[in-house]
Amino acid sequence: MRSDSVLLLCLILLTAPLVGFVLQYAFGRRLPGQGAWLTVGTIGVSLACSIVLAVGGIQWGTMKGVFHLGPWDWLPAGADFDWQVGILVDGLTAVMLVVVTGVSFLVHLFSVGYMKGDPKYPLFFAWLQMFSVSMLILVLADNLLHLFMGWELVGLCSYKLIGFWSEKPDPCNAARKAFITTRIGDLGMLLAICILGGAVGSFDFDKIFTAVAAGAIGDTWLLLAGLGLFFAAMGKSAQLGLHVWLPDAMEGPTPVSALIHAATMVAAGVYLVGRMAPMMLPDVMTVIAIVGAATALVAGLIALAQNDIKRVLAYSTISQLGYMFLGLGVGAWHAALFHLTTHAFFKALMFLGSGSVIHACHHEQDMRKMGGLWNKLPITGTTFLIGVIAIAGVPWITSGFFSKDGILSGAYATNPALFWVGLAGAVLTAFYMMRLFAMTFLGKPKDAHVHDHAHESPAVMWIPLAVLGTLAICAGWGTWHEAMLAPPESVVAEGSIQTLHDEHHHAGFVMPLAIAAALIGLLLGLLVFWKFAARVADWKKPFRALETALANKFWFDELYDKVLVKPAYRLAELFRFVDSRGVDGLVNAVGRGGVKTGDASGAHDRHVVDGLVRMTGALCQGFGGMFSMMQSGRVRFYLSLSVGALALALLLERIF
Amino acid sequence: MLSLLVFLPLAGLLACWAAPAKLARVINVVTCGAVLALSVSVWMQVDYGAAGYQLEESHAWIEAVGINYHVGIDGLALSLILLTTFVSFVSAIASWKIEKQVKGYHMMFLLLLTGMLGVFVALDLFLFYVFWEIMLLPMYFLIGIWGGPRRQYAAIKFFLYTLFGSVLLLAAVILVVLQTDTWSIPQITAMAREAMTNGDTAGILGSVGLSLAAFIGMFIGFAVKIPSFPFHTWLPDAHVEAPTPISMILAGVLLKMGGYGLIRIAYPFFPTAAVDMGLMVSILSVIAIVYGAFVAMAQTDFKRMIAYSSVSHMGFVTLGLASGTEIGINGAMYMMLAHGTISAMLFMIVGVIYDRAHHREIGRFGGLAWVMPKYFIFASFAFFASLGLPGFSGFIAELTTFVGAFNGPHQTWAIIALLGVVITAAYYLRTLQKVYLLETPDVYKDASQYPDLTRREWAVLLPLAAVTLYMGIIPATAMDMYSGFIVNHLVPVLNVSVGLLTGGLV
Amino acid sequence: MTLLLAIGLNEYLVVGAALFCAGLVAVLSRRNAVAILIGIELMLNAANVNLVAFDHWRPGQIQGQLFALFVLVIAAAEAAVALALILNVFDTSDRIDVDEIDTLKG
C-alpha cells in the first residue's frame, strides 16, 4: 500500500465518527430514527477502512509494513523541541484499529435495540461516536503527547457514558470515581511525558527509543518514566490498587461496559505498555509482571463471590487485564497483545450477552434470581457458552486457549513462580465463569416472575452476539497474529522482550498444565453450581471468613475512603480554615490596626498636647487588636501557625 | 492607531454621558465592538515575527523629567490586547442585565477598558503606571456600587490590596528610573540585556542587593494582581461581590496584568534577581496551585469556588515563569490567554444561574441539567476545559507549563504541582454533580422561572467556547503571536544570568 | 530485584520522618483531643527511632539508647498528665473537641 492511501484511510476512519458525533450531538433528535442508524453507518465506514488497512498492509511483520505519516508541526513552544502530531500505522495499530472499530460497530448495532425507549437515546450514540474517535486518536498516535490526548478524551467519554443515567446518584458517583482514579494514574503519564520529552526534545516513539538506546536518559529517570507509564496504565486498565473504579463503572449501560470497560479503553493501558515496552528497564518489567499476576489472582478470587452478573464480568476483566500485564512483564509481548485481541472479542461477547440477559429479565442483574434461562434464550445462551469456553481456554478450538497458553509459557520461561500464580488464576477463571453460566442459564428458575417474562432479544441484538461468538472461536486460528504482532526489540536490555522464536520454544509440560487447568475449572464449576447446586451453601460454611473478605472485595473501597478521600476533604476544610482565619484574618487585622492608628493620629492632630499619650495608647490598642485576632484560643490554629513558622524558617535557611 | 484604540472607549464614555440613559448599553456594546474590530485590524498590521516594537508613537509629555507619551506593541502585548477587547466585548453584552444607574455603570466600564488597553500598549514606565492606576478606580466603583451585599468591604479590600502592591511597584520603578535616567521600557530592557552580556551581575541598578530588593518589590506589586499566594485573599471577596460581567473582566483580563508586568518588566529588568528568586517563586506557585485547589474544594459558594480555582490556575503562570525555560514561559503565557476565556466563561455560567435562583449555594442546587440542557452543555464544556482536558486550551497551557517547569531547575516542585491536576478534577466533578446532575429539586422545576439560555447569554457563551476550542486544537496561532519576545529576548537573557550565577559559560 | 537495597541509616531516618509527619498531620487535622494526644505520641516515637538509629551507627556509645528510654518514660508521664487534663476538661464542658475549647481566646 502506498503511504498516501494509508493516510487517506486513516483520515476517513477518524473523521467519519467525528462527523457522526457532531451531527448526532447537535441534531440527533431530529434525525430519522433519532440518528442511531447514522452512527452505525459512520462507524461502519471506519470499520471498513480499518479492515482495508489491516488486510492491505500485508507485510506487517517487516519494516516495510510500517507507515509513519506526518509528523506535522503543532505546538511551537520551544525552538529545540518538536511538538508534533502524526500517525503511526504498524501491525499493532492495525490490529487495534480493527478491534476498536469492530467491537464499536457491533456495540452500536446492539445498542439500537438495547437502548430503545431511553429518553436520551440520541445522546447515547453521540458519545459512543466520540468515544470511538478518541480511541482511534489514541491508537493512531505516533507520539506520547498525541496518545495522551486520546487517553484523556476516552476518560471523558467514559465519564459521560458511565454516568449516562445521571439522574441517579450511583452512576454519578461511579463516573466521578472512574475519572478521578484514572486521573491519579495519569499523574504517572504526565511525569513520564515530562521526563522523556525533556530529555529527548520530542515525544515521538521512535525518537524516544533512539535517544534511550543512545543513553540520553539516566537510569533513575528511565526507571521513573517506566514506572510512571505503568502507573498510568494501571489506572486505565484497573490493575490492583487502582482497580476500584471498574466494578463501579458497571453502573453504566451494558453496551458501554462491553465497549469501554471490557474491550477497548481498559485495554489502552496494555497497549501503552506494549507500545513503550522497548524502553522499559528490566526492573520495571518485573514490577509489571508482579502487579499483573497479583491482579489476575486477586480479581479472580473476588469474582467468585459476586452475585451481580456484570460485576462478575468486571472482575473477570480486571483479572484478564492482569494476565496481559503479566505477559508483557515477563516479555511475552506477542502473547499479551494477542490476548488483548481475543479478550476484546470474547469479553465484549459476554458483556453483550449479559446485556441480552438483563434486557430479557427486565433489568434484573442479580444472578440469584436467574437460572434456567437456557431454553428461553437459546441464542444468547449458546453464544455465552462460547464466551465461557473461550475465556477458560478450552484447547485447540477457542482463541483464548492460544493467547493464554502463550502468556503462561512466557511466564514459565522468565519467572516460574509467576507461572504458578498465573496457572492458579486460570483454574479460577474457568471456575467462576462456569459458576456464572450455571447460575444464569442452567438449573431451575429461582424467580418465577423473572423467568416467565424472559424472551429472546431481537435480531439487531443477537446478530452482534453471533458475530462476536464466531470471532471468539476463530480469532486464534492461523498465524495472522504472528505476522501482525511482531514483537519489537528492547533498546535497554537485550532479550527482555521475547522473540516469536523464544515464545514458541517452551517447556513441554506447560501446555498440558494449562489445558488441565481449564478443564478442571470448568468441570468443577459445572459440578458445584449445577449438579450439586443445592449443597453449595453447606460447602461454603467453613470458608465464611474468606467469603466475607471476597464479598467485600478485600475492603479496598473502605480503605481508600478512610486513607485518601476523607483526609483530602478534611485537608481542604483545614486549608479553608487557615485561609479565612489565618491568611485573611491577618490581612483584616492589619486593616483594623491601620484604622485604629489612623484614628489615633487624627486625635494627635486635634489635641497636640494630649495627643502623644493618647496616640501611644491607641497604637497599643491597635496592635493589641491586631494580635488579639491571632489569639483565637484554638489549639489547632496555634499549632498550624507554629508549624508553618518553623517550616518557613527552615525554608528561608535553605534559600539564604 | 494605538492611541485611537486606547482612547476610543473614552469617546464612547463621553457619548454615554451625553446620550439618554436607555442608550447607554447600546453605546457600550457598539464601542466595545468597534474596539474589538480595531484590535483585529491592528493584528493584521503587526508582523510579530519581526524584532522590536511596532506601530510606535512617541511624544514628549513631561519634558522636565523626561517622561514621554510612548506607546507601541509587539506580539506579546498584541495577544493580550486581543484577549482584552474580546472579553470586554462579551462582558459588555453580559452587562445588559444591569438595571441600577445604567449610565454610570457603562461609563465606568469604558474607562476600565481604556485603562486595561493602556497598560498593554504603554512603553514608558510612567505612562504604564498611570494606566495601571486608572484601572483601579473604575474597578473600585464597579464593585463598590454595583456589587452584592458585602460590596463595600470587598471594594475597599480590593483597592487597598492593589494599592499596597502599587506602592511597592512605584518604589521599584523610581529606583530604576533614578539609576538608568530614562522612563523608556525598551531602553531599560536593552540596558539590562547589555549588562548581562557584559557579564555584569549587578545589572541596571549597579548592585546585586538593590536589584534583588527592586525585583521583590515589583514581584509583590504584580503578584497581588495575579494573585499569587499569599496575596490572594482579595480575589474571592472581590469576585463574589462583583456583578457577573465585572467578574468576567476581573478574571479574564485584570489578573493577566500581573503576569504581563512580570514578563514585560520585572523579569527582563532584573534577570539575575529573577533567577535568584526562582526557587522562592516556584514554591509560592506550587502552594498556590495545590492549596488553591484544596481551598476551592472546600467552598460552598459556587462563585467563591471558581475564584479559588483562578488562584490555583494562575499558579501555573508563575510556575512556568520561574522555570526560566522557553517552554515554561510560553506555557505560562498560554495559561494567561486560556484562563482569560475559560474563567470568563465560568463566571458567566455562575451568573446565569444566579440571575435565576438568586443564590449560589452549591449544596442547594441539583439536577439543573434536566431543566436547562443547553446551559448544562456550556457548563460542562467550561468545567472540562478548566480541568485541562485535551482539545481545550487549558490542556495546552498546563502541559507546556509542566514540561517547561520540569526542564527548569526546580523539578521537585514541578512534580508536586502535578497533584493539582487531580484535585482540580475532584472539585470540578463534585460541583458538576451537585449542581447539574441527580434529581432536580421541585424548586427548580418551574420552567418559567428557570428558562434555558436566552439569546444574549448564547451570544456571550458561544464566542468564548469557540475561542477556547480553537486555542485547544490549533495552539500555534496564539503561541506564534506572543512567543517572539520570550524566545528571542527573555529566555536568552535569563540563560545568560543563570550562567553568570553558576559561574559557568557566559 | 535490584530495587531492594541494603537498609542503612537513611532508611531509618526516612521511617522516623514519615512517622513524625504522620503524627504532625494527626495533631493538625484532628479535632479530638485524644487523637491529638496519639499524634503527639507518634511524634515522640519518631524521635526515638532517630535516636536509636543514630546510636546504632555510632558504636561504643549508648547515649542514644538512654535518651530513647528517657523519652519513653517522659512520654508515659506526659500521657498520664494529658489524659487527666482531658478528663477534667470533659467533666467541665462535656466535650473533647479542641476547636470548641477556646477559653484561652484573647
Please list every residue in chain C whose beta carbon sits closer than 8 Å to the beta carbon of residue A643: 24, 28
Q: In the prediction, which pLDDT does C5 show?
A: 58
Q: In the prediction, which pLDDT does A612 show?
A: 65
**Cα distance between residue B218 and residue B170, in whole Å:** 8
Q: How many domains does chain B have?
A: 1
Give yes or no for A216 touching B (CB within 8 A).
Answer: no
Q: Which of B298, B302, B301, B312 shows the shortest CA–CA distance to B419? A: B312
Band of pLDDT at residue B196, cut at 50, 70 and 90: confident
Q: How far is A636 from chain C (nearest CA, A)?
A: 6
> Which of C3, C5, C32, C96 would best serve as a mutation to test chain A binding (most A beta carbons within 10 A)?
C3
The neighbours of chain C, by the rule of 3 or more Cβ pairs under 8 Å, are A
Q: In the prediction, which pLDDT does A602 show?
A: 67
**Cα distance between residue A26 and residue A20, in whole Å:** 10
Give yes or no for C4 touching A (CB within 8 A).
Answer: no
Q: In the prediction, which pLDDT does B349 show?
A: 94
Buried b / exposed e along B41-78 (16+ C-beta atoms within 10 A): ebbeebebeeeebbbeeeeebeeeeebbbbbbbbbbbb
Q: In the prediction, which pLDDT does A466 show?
A: 92
Give yes or no for C105 touching A (CB within 8 A).
Answer: yes
Please list every residue in chain A whose beta carbon sits closer than 8 Å to the beta carbon of residue B228: none
Does the pLDDT at position C1 exceed 60?
Answer: no
Q: Do C104 and A633 touch (CB under 8 A)?
A: yes
Q: Do B297 and A569 touch (CB under 8 A)?
A: yes
Question: Contact at 8 Å (CB) between A528 and A536?
Answer: yes
Residue B295 within any structural domain of the chain: yes
C-alpha cell at B391: 482539545
Q: In the prediction, which pLDDT does A607 show?
A: 61
Q: Do A627 and C31 touch (CB under 8 A)?
A: no
Give yes or no for C56 touching A (CB within 8 A).
Answer: no
**Cα distance between residue A47 and residue A183, in whole Å:** 30
Q: Considering only the beta carbons, identify the residue of B160, B396, B414 that sits closest to A591.
A: B160
Please list every residue in chain A whose beta carbon sits closer than 8 Å to the beta carbon of residue B367: 167
In this predicted model, what pLDDT tens digit does every residue of A119-145 receive, in sequence order?
A: 889 999 999 999 999 999 999 998 899
Q: In the prediction, which pLDDT does A101 show?
A: 94
Helices A309-330/A333-360 angle, 10° precision: 180
Does the pLDDT at position A605 exceed 70?
Answer: no
Work out the burial of residue B430: count CB atoms within 10 Å of its CB; fewer than 13 is exposed, 13-18 middle, 19 or more buried. Answer: middle
Q: What is the largest CA-CA distance in chain C?
A: 59
The neighbours of chain A, by the rule of 3 or more Cβ pairs under 8 Å, are B, C
Question: Contact at 8 Å (CB) between A347 and A320?
Answer: yes
The residue written with cell numbers 472546600 in the block is: B298
Q: Do C105 and A631 touch (CB under 8 A)?
A: yes
Q: Mean pLDDT of all residues in chain A? A: 87
Chains C and B touch (3+ CB pairs under 8 A): no
Q: In the prediction, which pLDDT does B506 show?
A: 37
C-alpha cell at B275: 533567577
In this predicted model, what pLDDT tens digit does every residue of B37-81 receive, in sequence order?
A: 999 999 998 888 777 888 888 998 888 888 999 999 998 999 999
Q: Do C99 and A643 touch (CB under 8 A)?
A: no
Q: Considering only the beta carbons, identify the residue of B157, B283, B483 that sits closest to A76.
A: B483
Does the pLDDT at position A530 exceed 50?
Answer: yes
Q: How far is A430 from chain C (nearest CA, A)?
A: 32
Lowest mean pLDDT among A545-554, B114-123, B289-298: A545-554
> Which of B162, B212, B295, B418 would best serve as a mutation to test chain A binding (most A beta carbons within 10 A)?
B295
**Cα distance between residue A470 and residue A529, in whole Å:** 27
Please list every residue in chain C whose beta carbon sits closer than 8 Å to the beta carbon of residue A286: 1
Range of the domain at B421: 277-473
Please list every residue in chain A whose beta carbon sits closer than 8 Å to the beta carbon of residue B157: 587, 591
Q: How far is A157 from chain B (nearest CA, A)?
A: 11
Tell me what percent of the residues of chain A surpass a pLDDT of 90.
Answer: 42
Q: Which of B235, B432, B255, B226 shows the shortest CA–CA distance to B341? A: B255
Lowest mean pLDDT among A114-118, A186-190, B172-176, B373-377: A114-118
Please list every residue in chain C whose beta carbon sits closer than 8 Å to the beta carbon of residue A634: 98-99, 102, 105
Q: Do A283 and C98 touch (CB under 8 A)?
A: no
**Cα distance between residue A610 and residue A607, in whole Å:** 5
Please list every residue in chain A whose beta carbon sits closer than 8 Å to the beta carbon of residue C2: 283
Please list every residue in chain B whose beta carbon sits closer than 8 Å to the beta carbon of residue A575: 291, 294-295, 298
Give yes or no for C31 touching A (CB within 8 A).
Answer: yes
Tell me what percent of the residues of chain B surpass a pLDDT of 70.
Answer: 99
Q: Do A643 and C101 touch (CB under 8 A)?
A: no
Band of pLDDT at residue A162, cut at 50, 70 and 90: very high
Residue B216 within any structural domain of the chain: no
Q: In the prediction, which pLDDT does B503 show?
A: 62
Residue B172 within any structural domain of the chain: no
Residue B503 within any structural domain of the chain: no
A568 to chain C: nearest residue by CA?
Answer: C29
Residue B404 within any structural domain of the chain: yes
Please list every residue in chain C whose beta carbon sits closer than 8 Å to the beta carbon of residue A630: 106
Q: Residue B392 in 3-state DSSP?
A: coil
**Cα distance between residue A182 and residue A234, in whole Å:** 8
Residue B247 within any structural domain of the chain: no
Give yes or no for C101 touching A (CB within 8 A).
Answer: yes
Amino acid at residue number B165 = G
Please list every residue in chain A whose beta carbon sits closer than 8 Å to the beta carbon of residue B415: 191
In this predicted model, what pLDDT tens digit does every residue of C25-71 receive, in sequence order?
A: 988 888 888 888 999 999 999 999 999 988 888 878 888 889 999 99
Q: Considering only the beta carbons, identify the residue of A156, A187, A591 that sits closest to B422.
A: A187
Band of pLDDT at residue A398, cut at 50, 70 and 90: confident
DSSP result, chain C: -TT-PPP-HHHHHHHHHHHHHHHHHHHHH--BHHHHHHHHHHHHHHHHHHHHHHHHTSTT--HHHHHHHHHHHHHHHHHHHHHHHHHHHHHHHS--BTTT--TT--
Please list every residue in chain C whose beta carbon sits closer than 8 Å to the beta carbon of residue A567: 25, 29
**Cis preceding linkage at B230, omega within 30:** yes
Count CA atoms closer than 13 A to A324's CA, side-chain side. Answer: 32
Give yes or no for C21 touching A (CB within 8 A).
Answer: no
The ipTM (two decimal places) reads 0.91
Please list every residue in chain A whose beta carbon sits closer than 8 Å to the beta carbon of residue B445: none
Q: How far is B278 from chain A (nearest CA, A)?
A: 10
C-alpha cell at B441: 429539586
Give yes or no for A649 touching B (CB within 8 A).
Answer: no
Residue B495 within any structural domain of the chain: no
In this predicted model, what pLDDT tens digit does every residue of A409-467 receive, in sequence order?
A: 888 888 889 999 999 999 999 999 999 998 888 888 877 777 777 788 888 888 999 99
Residue B96 within any structural domain of the chain: no
Does the pLDDT at position A507 exceed 70?
Answer: no
- A→C interface, C-beta within 8 Å: 283, 286-287, 567, 570-571, 574, 627-628, 630-636, 639-640, 643
Does the pLDDT at position B449 exceed 80?
Answer: yes
Q: In the prediction, which pLDDT does B209 show?
A: 86
Q: Considering only the beta carbons, identify the residue of C1, C28, C106 that sits closest to A636.
A: C28
Give yes or no for A168 touching B (CB within 8 A).
Answer: yes
Q: What is the mean pLDDT of residues A492-516?
A: 79
In this predicted model, what pLDDT tens digit does every residue of B270-316 receive, in sequence order?
A: 998 999 899 999 999 999 999 999 999 999 999 999 999 999 999 99
Q: Considering only the beta carbons, identify the residue of A287, A574, A627 that sits closest to C28.
A: A574
Does the pLDDT at position A189 exceed 90?
Answer: yes
C1 to chain A: nearest residue by CA?
Answer: A283
Q: Which of B252, B254, B434 shows the shortest CA–CA distance to B346? A: B252
